């Protein structure tokens, strides 16, 4: 028997993540500087870690309810109301998940079946397309352009809609471009959607990380509230990637089927992480402010440096990535990244890892120390000069 031939063909045909490939290369090169990974360099604030430790001391080592601790769900709702003016009922409109990643997977699995089309603005996070494929749906990329500041435009959305469109992924603040959508820009999207039956999965995992402009959610619009599935989590805003905790908020008729899948696949999210997250949503606002202020400083440094180096860069207003164009070098994204790693030992991610339309760009994370960023920028400058 050839085991490989027995594997589900959808999985066999799926491309491995382009981010992971560079991650693996860097792991074999300890002297390399990485701007490759989308994860805060900060350790989780102490009072949040302490709450996790204390929960273990108290013996909270059991499953929680499938939906997550009621106290955590209640505080998530208080937090969303306080920070983003979003109103959810903790009893039946919130599910605590294993990272935003599980929330995305559950949403797509619950809504999508054979042949349903899912609109995915790209460049965007790597998991949307494979999740849609695993659910038997059809991913339909919508190219967002640098001249539109990588925002989803109502014209592009209108063009992509067909009678089979079931779901729009709204990935803002955006990984990898750092683009955000303002209230007026969301309003234009709502005007296109309001007379359709299309659902929106709004991935707002970077909602807290915006610079100068407060994040707005499409769920604020009354006509969208009941068909928006809001995905968020603790990884980015609170530097809690390893705790694996996220959540999803939506109408009770959407949360119920998501909870059904979660109940069979996961049971309940990690209990220790839920206690830590409870402390984070209750008392972590100042931690977020401090980290955002540091990211903002790094953002300005890296944005200006890329433009000086001659790699034109759109100004990111959210998340912690810059997405400079490398078209002036004449290299393909993948060649640029491989050569940069070989010649100058700096790891960044090729833009096409986030969809074909990312070709001609690279993603650099500024969730690294300013020293690492400056050293990497010097080396990138040398690399670009040597290839003129």
Ligand X SMILES: Cc1ncc(COP(=O)(O)O)c(C=O)c1O
Rounded to an integer, what distance in angstroms lies between the CA atom of residue 306 and that of residue 328? 12
Q: Which of residues 271 and 344 has its CB atom nearest to ligand X in the complex? A: 271
- Supply the minimum distance, in Å, between the C-beta of residue 239 and ligand X: 11
Q: Which of residues 277 and 326 has its CB atom nearest to ligand X in the complex? A: 277
- Supply the minimum distance, in Å, between the C-beta of residue 171 and ligand X: 6
**Number of C-beta neighbours around residue 82 at 10 A:** 11
Q: Which of residues 199 and 234 has its CB atom nearest to ligand X in the complex? A: 234
Q: Which of residues 55 and 124 has its CB atom nearest to ligand X in the complex? A: 124
- Supply the minimum distance, in Å, between the C-beta of residue 354 and ligand X: 10
Find, among 248, 252, 240, the residue nearest to 266 by Cα: 248
Q: Which of residues 52 and 171 has its CB atom nearest to ligand X in the complex? A: 171
Please provide the DSSP assignment of 57-115 as one string.
HTT--S---TT--HHHHHHHHHHHHHHH-----TTTSEEEESHHHHHHHHHHHHH--TT
Q: Which of residues 137 and 318 has its CB atom nearest to ligand X in the complex? A: 318
Q: What angle do CA 32, 37, 42 make, to 5 degrees?
A: 100
- Supply the minimum distance, in Å, between the C-beta of residue 39 and ligand X: 7
Q: Which of residues 24 and 155 has its CB atom nearest to ligand X in the complex? A: 24
Q: Which of residues 49 and 379 has its CB atom nearest to ligand X in the complex? A: 49
Rounded to an integer, what distance in angstroms lies between the CA atom of residue 337 and that of residue 359? 12
Rounded to an integer, what distance in angstroms lies between the CA atom of residue 56 and that of residue 3? 42
Strands 199-203 and 228-233: parallel
* CA-based torsion, 215, 218, 222, 226: positive or negative: negative
Strands 117-122 and 94-97: unpaired
Find, among 65, 100, 385, the residue nearest to 236 by Cα: 100
Rounded to an integer, what distance in angstroms lies between the CA atom of residue 238 and that of residue 44? 6
Under the rule (CB under 6 A), what is the footprint of ligand X?
38, 99-101, 125, 171, 175, 203, 205, 233, 235, 241, 246
Mapped onto helix, strand or coil, the DSSP state of residue 26 is: helix
Rounded to an integer, what distance in angstroms lies between the CA atom of residue 59 and that of residue 377? 47
Q: Which of residues 165 and 202 has its CB atom nearest to ligand X in the complex? A: 202
Point out the residue whose Cβ comes nearest to ligand X.
99
CA distances from 54 to 51, 115, 276, 278, 286 (A): 5, 48, 9, 12, 21
Q: Report whether 294 contacts 306 (CB < 8 A).
A: no
Rounded to an integer, what distance in angstroms lies between the CA atom of residue 259 and that of residue 68? 10
Q: Which of residues 38 and 45 has its CB atom nearest to ligand X in the complex? A: 38
């Amino acid at each position: 028997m050839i085991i490989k031939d027995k594997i589900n063909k959808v999985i066999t045909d799926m491309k491995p993540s382009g981010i992971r490939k560079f991650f693996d290369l860097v792991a074999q090169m300890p002297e390399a500087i990485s701007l490759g990974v989308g994860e805060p360099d900060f350790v989780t604030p102490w009072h949040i870690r302490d709450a996790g430790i204390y929960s273990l001391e108290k013996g909270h080592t059991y499953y929680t309810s499938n939906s997550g601790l009621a106290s955590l769900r209640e505080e998530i709702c208080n937090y969303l109301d306080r920070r983003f003016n979003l109103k959810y009922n903790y009893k039946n409109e919130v599910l605590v998940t294993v990272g935003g990643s599980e929330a995305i997977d559950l949403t797509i699995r619950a809504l999508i079946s054979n042949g349903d089309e899912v609109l995915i603005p790209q460049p965007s996070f790597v998991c949307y397309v494979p999740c849609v494929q695993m659910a038997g749906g059809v991913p339909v990329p919508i190219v967002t352009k640098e001249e539109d500041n990588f925002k989803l435009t109502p014209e592009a959305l209108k063009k992509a809609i067909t009678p089979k469109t079931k779901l729009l992924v709204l990935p803002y603040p955006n990984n990898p471009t750092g683009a955000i959508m303002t209230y007026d820009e969301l309003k234009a999207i709502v005007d296109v959607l309001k007379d359709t039956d299309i659902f929106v999965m709004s991935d707002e995992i970077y909602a807290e990380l915006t610079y100068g402009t407060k994040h707005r959610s499409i769920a604020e619009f009354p006509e969208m509230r009941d068909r928006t599935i809001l995905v968020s989590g603790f990884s980015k805003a609170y530097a809690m990637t390893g705790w694996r905790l996220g959540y999803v908020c939506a109408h009770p008729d959407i949360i119920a089927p998501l909870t059904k899948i979660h109940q069979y696949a996961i049971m309940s999210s990690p209990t220790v992480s839920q206690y830590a997250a409870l402390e984070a949503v209750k008392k972590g606002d100042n931690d977020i402010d401090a980290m955002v202020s540091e990211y903002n400083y790094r953002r300005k440094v890296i944005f200006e440096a890329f433009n000086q180096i001659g790699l034109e860069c759109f100004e990111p207003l959210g998340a912690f990535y810059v997405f400079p164009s490398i078209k002036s070098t004449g290299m393909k994204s993948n060649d640029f990244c491989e050569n940069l790693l070989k010649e100058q030992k700096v790891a960044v991610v090729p833009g096409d890892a986030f969809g074909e339309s990312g070709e001609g760009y690279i993603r650099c994370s500024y969730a690294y120390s300013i020293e690492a960023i400056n050293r990497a920028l010097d080396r990138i400058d040398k690399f670009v000069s040597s290839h003129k």
